């Protein structure tokens, strides 16, 4: 059993959807669970529908929704001939679910409505894809993942109930797989509560869903199909000398995600690591490329890994009475940051001052400055960038930092962080 995950970019056009056929075909000897995201920017578009509805702009919400509906229907029409009517019928059910809701007035909180609307993207994409593949002779079974993934009702960032979900996944799998087909097509990112209300797992959560399936089903591997050749040591759009990394381990991937590399959703790793399931990152544009293999073993000789976080603010807080920075200062500050959902990217304490580099979320930063100014003198410096280099060497430091002036820097044995 293998688990595959295809992201929004792999299903954002007719050509790309058609391209999945040969990839799946080449694995026909395997049992596959295929997790798919919403097409292209559908999730963003649905977010706008939910926001308009909640702000009371029913007409806007319905018209934005109408556009999403038309796009999906015309895509289905372009992809399908015999199977179009059946697909349209199934899509119509999903559309109706949301349209009913949009005709009402909001009485519950925003996150609840967000999930009821935004979950649609994955349902639509998988529905079209499943019909298309069946018509192309790649027989598969479409499954509503809301029947399998149970979550709590922390809408928009729901937590999976492992016990219940894993029982449901296993029992359906035992009944179904191999009977009608060897391929299951289902959705990432979404689930349902005990009350059968839709929930979502947080943006970009499809990788995580795929990892959950891989864990529960003891899959031999999870493959995440992307539009890049492999995981790279830096963003190739910024660093022209970026290279692919053929082998990585889970720890390194977690570190990369922590420092801001947009490789794989950080929640994805634990379910795989717990069972030692290898994670493969492959390119859907050219499946013959080797990609990256991620496992549990120790790896030597990794290239330097470079992560650039632009748009940083340095907040410097100095005690007003010339006293040393003490535990109570740190406690108050971390409480404040927690309440504002701010996460420091780099932090350093001195005798009478504290320096923190944060993403420039304008409102939150000014709120932080406002409250902190009750305890400290606060200074703010904007327009900075944070460069992190893992496995740095003298050469890499020279290469990446020679022409830059540090505002703050920190070094451990493995990692160098440089704010400039």
Q: Which does 121 bind (CB under 5 to 8 A by kind): Mg ion, ligand ASP, none?
A: ligand ASP
H/E run at residue 6: strand 2-6
Closest residue (Cβ) to ligand ASP? Answer: 206
Helix (H, G, I), strand (E, B) or coil at 153: coil
Q: Which C-beta is closer to ligand ASP: that of 12 or that of 312? A: 12
Q: Which does 376 bind (CB under 5 to 8 A by kind): Mg ion, ligand ASP, none?
A: none
Q: Which of residues 121, 191, 291, 304 is near ligand ASP by CB under 6 A?
A: 121
Q: Where are the strands (E) in 324-420, listed by range?
A: 346-349, 353-359, 376-390, 408-411, 415-419
291 makes contact with ligand ASP (CB under 6 A): no
User: Which residue, among 23, 102, 104, 5, has the nearest Cα to 62 in the 3D structure?
Assistant: 102
Q: Which C-beta is closer to Mg ion: that of 37 or that of 233? A: 37
Cβ contacts of 409-418, under 8 Å, gap ≥ 24: 410/346, 410/348, 414/390, 415/255, 415/259, 415/388, 415/389, 415/390, 416/388, 416/389, 416/392, 417/259, 417/346, 417/386, 417/387, 417/388, 417/389, 418/386, 418/387, 418/388, 418/389
Q: Which does 58 bind (CB under 5 to 8 A by kind): Mg ion, ligand ASP, none?
A: none
Within 173-212, the residues that bind ligand ASP by CB under 6 A are 188-189, 203-206
Contact window for Mg ion (CB under 5 A) among 8-16, 44-52, 121-129, 151-159:
8-16
How far is residue 125's CA from residue 127's CA, in Å, rounded to a whole number?
5
Helix (H, G, I), strand (E, B) or coil at 386: strand
Q: Which C-beta is closer to ligand ASP: that of 46 or that of 280? A: 46
H/E run at residue 314: strand 305-319
Q: Which of residues 3, 4, 5, 7 is near Mg ion by CB under 5 A?
A: 7
Within 26-55, the residues that bind ligand ASP by CB under 6 A are 37-38, 43
Tell me the site size for Mg ion, rule CB under 5 A: 3
Q: Degrees (nearest 5) of the Cα angle 176, 178, 184?
A: 65
Q: Which does 292 bind (CB under 5 to 8 A by kind): Mg ion, ligand ASP, none?
A: none
188 makes contact with Mg ion (CB under 5 A): no
7 makes contact with ligand ASP (CB under 6 A): yes
Q: How far is the CB of 187 from Mg ion (least distance, A)?
A: 12
Within 31-70, the residues that bind Mg ion by CB under 5 A are 37
Q: Which does 203 bind (CB under 5 to 8 A by kind): Mg ion, ligand ASP, none?
A: ligand ASP
Contact window for Mg ion (CB under 5 A) among 1-9, 91-99, 141-149, 311-319:
1-9
Q: How far is the CB of 84 from ligand ASP (least distance, A)?
A: 24
Q: Which C-beta is closer to ligand ASP: that of 156 or that of 390? A: 156
Helix (H, G, I), strand (E, B) or coil at 222: strand
Q: List Cβ neighbours of 278 (8 Å cut-off, separation of 6 or more).
A: 221, 222, 272, 293, 294, 295
How far is residue 68's CA from residue 49's CA, in Å, rounded to a whole number?
10
Q: How far is the CB of 207 from Mg ion (least distance, A)?
A: 8
Q: How far is the CB of 115 from ligand ASP (least distance, A)?
A: 12
Q: Which residue is listed with tokens 């794989």?
A: 264
Q: State residue 310 phi and psi, 5-degree precision.
A: -80, 180
Residues that bind Mg ion (CB under 5 A): 7-8, 37
* List of residues contacting ligand ASP (CB under 6 A): 7-8, 37-38, 43, 121, 188-189, 203-206
């Amino acid at each position: 059993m293998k688990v595959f995950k295809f992201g929004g970019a792999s299903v954002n056009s007719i050509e790309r959807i058609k391209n999945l056929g040969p990839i799946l075909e080449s694995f026909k000897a395997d049992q596959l669970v295929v997790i798919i995201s919403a097409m292209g920017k559908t999730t963003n578009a649905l977010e706008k529908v939910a926001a308009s509805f909640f702000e009371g702009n029913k007409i806007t919400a319905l018209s934005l929704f109408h556009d999403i509906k038309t796009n999906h229907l015309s895509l289905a029409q372009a992809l399908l001939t015999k199977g179009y009517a059946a697909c349209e019928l199934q899509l119509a059910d999903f559309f109706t679910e949301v349209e009913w809701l949009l005709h009402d007035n909001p009485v519950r909180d925003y996150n609840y409505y967000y999930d009821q609307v935004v979950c649609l993207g994955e349902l639509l994409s998988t529905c079209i894809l499943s019909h298309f593949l069946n018509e192309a002779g790649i027989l598969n079974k479409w499954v509503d993942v809301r029947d399998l993934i149970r979550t709590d009702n922390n809408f928009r960032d729901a937590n999976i109930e492992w016990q219940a979900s894993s029982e449901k996944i296993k029992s359906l799998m035992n009944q179904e797989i191999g009977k009608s087909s060897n391929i299951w097509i289902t959705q990432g990112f979404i689930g349902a509560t005990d009350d059968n209300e839709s929930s979502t797992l947080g943006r970009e959560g499809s990788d995580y869903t795929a990892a959950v399936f891989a864990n529960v089903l003891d899959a031999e591997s999870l493959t995440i199909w992307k539009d890049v050749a492999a995981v790279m040591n830096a963003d190739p759009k910024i660093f022209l000398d970026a290279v692919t990394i053929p082998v990585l381990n889970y720890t390194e991937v977690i570190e990369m995600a922590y420092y801001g590399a947009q490789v794989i959703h950080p929640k994805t790793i634990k379910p795989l690591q717990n069972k030692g399931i290898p994670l493969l990152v492959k390119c859907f544009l050219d499946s013959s490329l080797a990609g990256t293999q991620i496992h549990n073993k120790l790896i030597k000789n990794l290239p330097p890994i470079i992560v650039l976080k632009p748009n940083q603010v340095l907040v410097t807080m100095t005690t007003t009475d010339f006293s040393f920075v003490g535990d109570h200062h740190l406690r108050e500050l971390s409480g404040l940051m927690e309440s504002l959902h701010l996460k420091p990217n780099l932090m350093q304490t001195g005798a009478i001052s504290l320096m923190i580099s944060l993403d420039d979320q304008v409102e939150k930063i000014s709120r932080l400055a406002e409250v902190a100014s009750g305890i400290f003198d606060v200074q703010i410096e904007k327009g900075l960038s944070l460069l992190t280099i893992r496995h740095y060497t003298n050469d890499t430091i020279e290469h990446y930092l020679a022409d830059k002036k540090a505002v703050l820097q920190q070094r451990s044995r493995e990692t160098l962080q440089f704010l400039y």
